[in-house]
């Protein structure tokens, strides 16, 4: 089934909602896994496991991962920024709530919208996109200020550290997207782009774990729970949901597909509140709503824009709002 469609059918809508729900849920799963595995090691193992699955899938489907197409430099840069991004997210989750982290990192589409003219002069942000940026930034700034106060209660004095790492992760995610667009990776297949990020980030994150002196648990000392949590992150989210996303972008109009990414912060917020018992403050709720509105405005196509585009924010990326976890 390779025929492109001009609208989203029931299969597309259901698949998109599932992908956004998985990406939102994954931050809570990551925070739960931190009870068993240190952050850098957890991120590195996730990337290594998913890289192996992508390589096997590419071999089975006949997708080339050869570096002879001139993508090595871009792949190394993208993989390095990917590693830094997830180091910030996983370490940051030690200090702040999963529901806050996902709201902060979804400033990445706006980083892309502002930085894209440096890559392609014709892709300047429209007044509507700038309005979306302003709305989202205002909401996030208000929520970030909450982490600088004692209003969170005992044990949350370092929340601002996690919040700041979430904002840094958003900048790195945006930089990763711009790197892909500005390098030979722009002409590579989404599968190869994803493989570069996973295959490069995995060893870097594991090495960072060793250098940071993280305590590695003995494999035999881990119970069933951490293996299931890691399996969910690696197989379901990082591997399967990304491939589903590529399939959607190739089969359906990209602008309509990426518009659904506004659901991810909402799912992430709900997952943190319902699964982890995290507080739903007024400021965080307003920030989440502001980010959702902002993403909707940034992803709104110009009146005469084509309805198709290459994959963007990796899991693939050229449109600013493509999902990621």
Q: What's the domain range around 221?
A: 10-298
Q: pLDDT (tens digit, 9 = 90+) per residue, 238-281?
A: 999 988 888 887 788 766 777 778 788 889 888 999 999 988 88
Model confidence at 307, pLDDT cuts 50, 70, 90, reads very low
Structure tokens of 76? 């190394």
* Alpha-carbon span 259 to 32, nearest angstrom: 29
Question: Residue 303: its pLDDT value, please?
Answer: 60
**53: in domain:** yes
Question: Residue 318: its pLDDT value, please?
Answer: 38
Highest mean pLDDT among 109-123, 220-234, 277-291: 220-234
Report the percentage of the chain scoring pLDDT > 70.
Answer: 85
Question: Residue 139: its pLDDT value, please?
Answer: 81
Q: Write the CB contacts of 132 (distance below 8 Å, at least 6 apart in sequence).
A: 110, 113, 293, 294, 295, 296, 297, 298, 300
Q: How many domains does the chain contain in total? A: 1
Q: pLDDT (tens digit, 9 = 90+) per residue, 96-151?
A: 999 889 988 988 887 887 887 777 776 677 788 788 778 877 888 877 777 666 55
**2: in domain:** no
* Residue 221 pLDDT exceeds 70: yes
Contact between residue 312 and residue 258 where contact means Cβ atoms under 8 Å apart: yes
Question: Residue 155: its pLDDT value, please?
Answer: 54
**152: in domain:** yes
User: Helix 127-146 to helix 108-119 angle, to the nearest 10 degrees?
Assistant: 140
* Residue 14 pLDDT exceeds 80: yes
Q: Between the CA atoms of 249, 253, 256 and 79, what dihedral angle is there, to the nearest 10 degrees? A: 30
Question: Residue 317: its pLDDT value, please?
Answer: 38
**235: in domain:** yes
**324: in domain:** no
**310: in domain:** no
**228: in domain:** yes
CA 45 centroid distance within chain: 17
**213: in domain:** yes
* Residue 311 pLDDT exceeds 50: no
Question: Residue 153: its pLDDT value, please?
Answer: 52
Q: Which of 31-35, 247-251, 307-311 has the lowest mean pLDDT?
A: 307-311
Contact between residue 271 and residue 30 where contact means Cβ atoms under 8 Å apart: no
* Alpha-carbon span 281 to 283, nearest angstrom: 5
């Amino acid at each position: 089934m390779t025929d492109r469609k001009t609208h989203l059918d029931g299969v597309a809508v259901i698949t998109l909602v599932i992908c956004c729900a998985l990406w939102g849920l994954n931050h809570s799963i990551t925070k739960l896994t931190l009870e068993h595995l240190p952050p850098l090691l957890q991120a590195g193992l996730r990337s290594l496991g998913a890289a192996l699955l992508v390589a096997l899938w590419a071999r089975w489907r006949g997708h080339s991962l050869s570096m002879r197409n001139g993508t090595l430099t871009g792949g190394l840069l993208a993989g390095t920024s990917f590693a830094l991004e997830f180091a910030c997210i996983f370490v940051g989750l030690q200090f702040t709530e999963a529901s806050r982290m996902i709201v902060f990192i979804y400033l990445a589409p706006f980083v892309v919208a502002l930085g894209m003219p440096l890559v392609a002069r014709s892709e300047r942000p429209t007044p509507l996109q700038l309005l979306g940026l302003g709305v989202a930034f205002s909401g996030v700034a208000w929520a970030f200020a909450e982490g600088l106060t004692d209003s969170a209660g005992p044990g949350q004095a370092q929340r601002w550290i996690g919040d700041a790492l979430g904002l840094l992760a958003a900048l790195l995610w945006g930089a990763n997207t711009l790197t892909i667009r500005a390098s030979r990776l722009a002409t590579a297949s989404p599968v190869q782009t994803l493989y570069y990020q996973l295959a490069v980030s995995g060893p870097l994150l594991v090495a960072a774990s060793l250098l940071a002196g993280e305590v590695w648990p003995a494999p035999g000392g881990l119970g069933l729970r951490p293996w299931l949590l890691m399996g969910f992150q690696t197989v379901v989210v990082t591997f399967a949901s990304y491939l589903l996303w590529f399939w959607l972008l190739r089969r359906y109009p990209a602008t309509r597909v990426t518009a659904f990414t506004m659901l991810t912060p909402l799912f992430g917020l709900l997952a943190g509140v319902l699964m982890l018992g995290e507080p739903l403050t007024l400021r965080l709720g307003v920030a989440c709503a502001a980010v959702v509105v902002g993403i909707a405005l940034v992803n709104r196509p110009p009146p005469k824009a084509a309805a198709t585009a290459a994959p963007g924010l990796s899991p693939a990326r050229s449109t600013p709002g493509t999902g990621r976890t």
